[in-house]
Structure 1
Amino acid sequence: MPSFDKFSKVALKLGPIVVIIVAILVYPAYLAQGKNNFTYGASSMASSEKTQIGRDTKKIDDTFGKSNPVVFIVPSDDPVDEKEVGEEINNIEGVTSIISYSMNVGNEIPKDYVPKDQISDLVSGDYSRMIVTLSADEESDIAFNAVKEMSELGKKYFGDDYYIAGGSPSAYDIKETVTSDNVITTLGAIIAIGVVIMLTYRSLSIPIILLIAIEASIWINLSYSYFNGISIAYIGFMVISAVQLGATVDYAILFANGYLENRKEYNKHDSAINTLKTSTGAILTSGTILALAGFTLGKISTNEVIAQLGILIGRGAILSMISVLFFLPTVLIICDKLIEKTTMKTHFYKEGEKNEQLCKN
């Protein structure tokens, strides 16, 4: 491995510029990464024209128009309410057609008069089935709003005794569930890693500094999709939030460990340079492997979600390396006194200490 002597000096000179850039970008990136256009259901896996199902779906949509069926199941004991619900659903934006017994056959005709093999498609036991067709993508705002309004109508007329099934309702349910769960899981991961670092170094400041360095790179990575108008699968968003943090925080830990060891014998600037010399090779090796693996996966995979994961992992590894090699050294130098005061049993080298010791001897 090379000595990285010149690189360490250049990295330390560029450090203040990188710190300023990160300070400017971190808050907008944090806001942007949470406002990405997400996909939640299985439709995102087949949205790419790289797959056969994606190409077939596009050809069908181009020929016949978009058709997104939603099944609305309601009690069959009140045909009047069923018809009123159908009429209200028909006024919802995006609804192109409704097929149901009360809307198509009519409540005037008793169900006993209709052959069982035909009525069974719309009425079965205690429930009636309404097939609602939407002219919108499964995970579009129009489809989600239609599902929400249908759910409100169901509660209004039937209480909890109704069901909505289909691609859009499934994606809508996932969205409502995982969006709230993500805050808990992300905070849990950050706190867990922070506690491990705090106990390892017996420090209050080091966990915060290291987590800021990695979290900033995660937010910038995920905000890229927002600023470029790229939709990403929510599962990818959650995976990257965890994987990039767990995989690349090791780079920051490795660097911090080297800095603390060097700080016992050198001043803060020399400690940062010496740590860059000894740690850069290991960080570049690990980070480059992770980046190449991610970009390769993103390039060759025909599954849109997996390809997105690969690109996000590759880009995240590069951003984490930049953060650790350029941002972190400068921050450690700036927070040097704070680290010494908030870390147990740590005594940093002070200028002139060796000369004083030699004079005493």
Structure 2
Amino acid sequence: MSENLALVAHAKGDVRVEALPEPQPAPDEAVVEIAYGGICGSDLHYWLHGAAGASILREPMVLGHEIVGTVLAPAADGTGPAAGQPVAVHPATPVDDGSAPYPADRPNLSPAGTYLGSAARMPHTHGAFARRVALPARMLRSIPAGLPLRLAALAEPAAVAWHGVGQAGDIAGRRVLVIGTGPIGALAVAVARHHGAAEVIATDLHPHPRALAERLGARALDAADAEGIAAVHADVVVESSGTVPGLAAAISGARRGGTVVLLGLQRAGDVPVPMASAITRELTLVGSFRFNDEIDEVLAALADGSLDAEAVISHELPIEQGAVALELARDASVSSKVLLTFAAETDEGAGR
């Protein structure tokens, strides 16, 4: 058996590929052989800054929450998928610690919830960028027959985009503007197309993501084109850049009475917002945070081909080249979704 290589963040600027012990599962955990893992913005933040927002790295932590693989050993308590089943992973664990109320049907808002690869709590919640990991069986979602593991690796970030677009309600027949066409923004374009938007317009500063948006069926605008963005008059705007200029552009690009979904996570603390425009134009501003069970709908849509998102995958590198993969993923001018591969020889999994 090959070494159980993993991508581990130790501190700001210090991420290492190192061998882990073999996983020792609890009775409700399955051992999963990871095939692909998508690098997320939070992984980059832990590497570049030693923190992702208010989540500060205080001890070594395995990165990664966008993962798919195959069950090697099912949970001993009999729950979850059987051995040999290809699975995607829902990385959240809702926790109600009584500190703040939240809607029971929106567990993504649980104040003490945990997420794979997160330093929000001590001890940290290790991620799953490793060849073999033990994961709670409740996190595992069986991948539909015929859906390649490589494409299924988009399920988690696509669920984030699916949840975000859903925050605007029914978008069928409506004009949708997506601000920022990084991986999540690109997936928001794909989801908007899937949901029946009449037209999708997408912005970005770089030619590469704008070209990707066009491949996904959007009309692309340079994010520096303030006049062009203001002329869009979108029914729904999805702000996915997580930047102050992007937020201003989102408000500018919405029609009067329109809806702006705040999908990109802004920096901590106060940020300047053109609130006068939002007020006088009666815009609806709605937040979006992670997702609930949308990952199940995403897997079905990827499997039947109605969610056309494969173009979002730009690079694949083996775990041994984890540092190179991070460098690629941080450069939005040349990459979109960068996947790590974990098998010694990448395999599409059992029967795929």
- TM-score w.r.t. structure 1 length? 0.20
The normalised TM-score by structure 2 is 0.20
Q: Which has the higher contact order (CA 8 A, sep 6+)?
A: 1
Flag the structure with higher strand content: 2
Larger relative helix fraction? 1
Higher-Rg structure is: 1
